[in-house]
Chain A
């Protein structure tokens, strides 16, 4: 599997480059989401679903997943190359992030043969959109305390309760659900189970929630005596916590095996430099202000350090002291940097920072303000930065639990 024929590889790389150059539509005439968490309208959804499907059909998504499940059966290097081409040509995001990046690799890792047969292809083709039902109104960071109930009844679980902040909830056909199957387990973690849950059965209802940007993004999901087939159980009943933790490793990028593509456009330091180079204050180019220039350089150094840290993880001798250190801190490092960088970008726009999206006076159509507000999706979602700092402190540095 890992042997790469340089000729095949070069041909594939060339093909990917050409395909994305030809097929990327950067401006479909309406605002495209910067991340999969921002998909709000049917127009956006239809466009992105079609885009993902075409990328998959062209062979540039799931290239490294096994052929038996709809993948390309190629070495990971091929998919990595496709990812680079996709970014290079500013391809829109991959819509089905929770399927492609979390559920898919999880099923390849811990799922049953039946799970893989049933779900992986639909994940790649975007036929089946997935969402994640972990957080609850009363239990977010303290996920182990989740209370949504699942009671076994014949071949089904009967589910009652509510999940919240469900990204893509309105569009999803399936959910990865963390539910309590045992209320008597002495340790709260031992009462949880992880179930692949259809969203289209009676008793499952989603209600949109309006985001801080004013758009609709995620939903609250209500379960009322919903009958969920028990065949969706991943791992053993009562073993859901471990499966959920493994899912989070995929989600946070601490573990590889994702189908590919990017699920967020990301803010590039060079884009911000470009912004700064277009701005002026009192008639002078903004980057001639030494304070602004100093901050800009710090961001470039920080972004460069993230790229270098990820390269370093490929050199075992250079991460020998704490091998999990960089993987476990990468979400914290990159999401916090992105948030600060977007806030800085708004500052660069000076008085125009007062304008918002679609107002003619807004610089770059207000994308910086929108990106900043949306950047909190990543510093809160997937485990907040404070929780990430606890994880790094406790699991990497060995500090006592808070």
Chain B
């Protein structure tokens, strides 16, 4: 057993990460107060286009896009603090969908696709991913939607994608399909989708927008096919990147949830004492806080080691699994420790709990990642 030789990851933090963390902490606090979050939940669009535009102007959409394609040439390690702070403020919008779509194009797109689409994304044009199917397999290579040659130079698609984030605003979709019997990726412009192809889904986290996407009859030039030789690499990269950014949102959310609970424990009085003085309430809150610190440590290790062969995958899976455990526990206890108010729509505890459930369902929950770690480590 050579396990003790395995590098499970380590903390590293760049100047750029520090700068972006500062900026994002301030920006998200100001632009996404809870009143805005709740207003946008009721809004069909679900996010504020003016804020989205600001993010584009700040260059946040291009952080992990190479300079040659209009980005700033950093990596996902620098995106993590941005997403963490968005998660902390439950900030709505297509930032993660768009960032992941750009990653897919960067890793598995053709040169032409990179040159035409990445600079647009870097400027702030939203894009998304259509990967999940009704079957619900977190292994992204298990695809049933089809792309078939349809006459010279054309492709047609069939099948249905689910839980497609921000489809109502995305201008491009990176879609996983089977092509000639193998998983492949196709870059579909929104303009190629027939009327009625999209239906908004009822999802547990109402700060988000997700759609069912029917691909039947989508007709494309075969230049829409991404590099088939890179499809598998691309899907693996998306799986890990999706988990990394998911963990970042969750860690931010966990922090906010713990803070929200602590505030209540310091103001609510029962039996003549602040409820935070009762250990039956205090100690689980400490447990939630400690789990949060552990999750954040895993997150920044995963961010730092993400690009490393082997270690990147281990650290990312650990980060997502720990984020799932920490967020679920903190938000579950947050509901309980708010008493009757915790059972209401108006209490923010439900927002955090719903967010945690949403994220567990995306790209794999804690149990799934632990199972994967078993095969990686034992």
Interface: A294 (CB within 8 A): yes
Contact indicator B1/A274 (Cβ below 8 Å): yes
Could you list 15 examples of A-B contacts with CB < 8 Å? A274-B1, A274-B3, A290-B374, A300-B373, A305-B294, A307-B10, A308-B11, A308-B294, A308-B300, A309-B294, A321-B255, A393-B282, A398-B266, A399-B276, A401-B277
Contact indicator B290/A277 (Cβ below 8 Å): no
- When distances are taken between beta carbons in the complex, the residues of chain B under 8 Å from A298 are 370
Interface: B298 (CB within 8 A): yes
Scoring A301, A304, A312, A332 by chain B CB atoms within 10 A of each residue's CB, the highest score goes to: A301
Bound form: Cα–Cα A329–B276 in Å: 18
- How many chain A residues touch B (CB < 8 A): the figure is 45
Q: Which residue from B3, B322, B371 sits with its C-beta under 8 Å from A270?
A: B3
In the complex, per-residue mask of A386-402: 1 if CB is within 8 Å of any chain B CB, else 0: 10011011001111111
Interface: B9 (CB within 8 A): yes
Bound form: Cα–Cα A364–B234 in Å: 46
Given contacts A297-B377, A321-B255, contact A302 B277 (CB under 8 A): no
Q: Which residue from B8, B13, B293 sits with its C-beta under 8 Å from A300?
A: B8
Q: Which residue from B18, B255, B262, B371 sits with its C-beta under 8 Å from A399?
A: B262
Bound form: Cα–Cα A268–B289 in Å: 24
What distance in Å separates the Cβ of A308 from its nearest Cβ neighbour in chain B?
4
Contact indicator A333/B318 (Cβ below 8 Å): no
* B contact residues vs A (CB 8 Å cutoff): 1, 3-4, 8-11, 13, 18, 21-22, 255, 258, 262, 265-266, 273-274, 276-279, 282-283, 285-287, 289-290, 293-298, 300-301, 318, 321-322, 367, 370-371, 373-374, 377-378
- When distances are taken between beta carbons in the complex, the residues of chain B under 8 Å from A321 are 255
Contact indicator A392/B290 (Cβ below 8 Å): yes
- When distances are taken between beta carbons in the complex, the residues of chain B under 8 Å from A301 are 298, 318, 321-322, 370, 373
Name A277's closest neighbour in chain B (CB-CB).
Answer: B1
What distance in Å separates the Cβ of B252 from its nearest Cβ neighbour in chain A?
11
Contact indicator A400/B277 (Cβ below 8 Å): yes
Bound form: Cα–Cα A283–B90 in Å: 50
Contact indicator B289/A325 (Cβ below 8 Å): yes
Scoring B10, B295, B370 by chain A CB atoms within 10 A of each residue's CB, the highest score goes to: B370
- When distances are taken between beta carbons in the complex, the residues of chain A under 8 Å from B258 are 397
Interface: A11 (CB within 8 A): no
Q: A307-B10, A311-B11, A389-B279 are in contact. List 11 more A-B contacts (CB 8 A).
A: A293-B374, A300-B373, A305-B318, A306-B294, A312-B300, A315-B13, A318-B11, A332-B286, A390-B279, A393-B282, A400-B266
- When distances are taken between beta carbons in the complex, the residues of chain A under 8 Å from B276 are 393, 399-400
Contact indicator B293/A326 (Cβ below 8 Å): yes
Contact indicator B13/A399 (Cβ below 8 Å): no
Given contacts A317-B13, A400-B274, A400-B277, contact A309 B371 (CB under 8 A): no
Bound form: Cα–Cα A171–B180 in Å: 78
Given contacts A309-B293, A332-B290, A399-B265, contact A390 B282 (CB under 8 A): yes
Name A315's closest neighbour in chain B (CB-CB).
Answer: B13
Bound form: Cα–Cα A329–B296 in Å: 15
Given contacts A312-B297, A397-B289, A398-B262, contact A297 B21 (CB under 8 A): no
Contact indicator B10/A386 (Cβ below 8 Å): no
What distance in Å separates the Cβ of B265 from its nearest Cβ neighbour in chain A?
6
Contact indicator A317/B18 (Cβ below 8 Å): yes
- When distances are taken between beta carbons in the complex, the residues of chain A under 8 Å from B373 are 297, 300-301
Name A332's closest neighbour in chain B (CB-CB).
Answer: B290
- When distances are taken between beta carbons in the complex, the residues of chain A under 8 Å from B293 are 309, 325-326, 329
Interface: A343 (CB within 8 A): no
Shortest Cβ-Cβ A-B pairs, 6 listed: A308-B297, A305-B294, A311-B11, A399-B276, A270-B4, A400-B277
Contact indicator B9/A308 (Cβ below 8 Å): yes
Given contacts A305-B294, A389-B286, contact A402 B13 (CB under 8 A): no
Name B369's closest neighbour in chain A (CB-CB).
Answer: A297
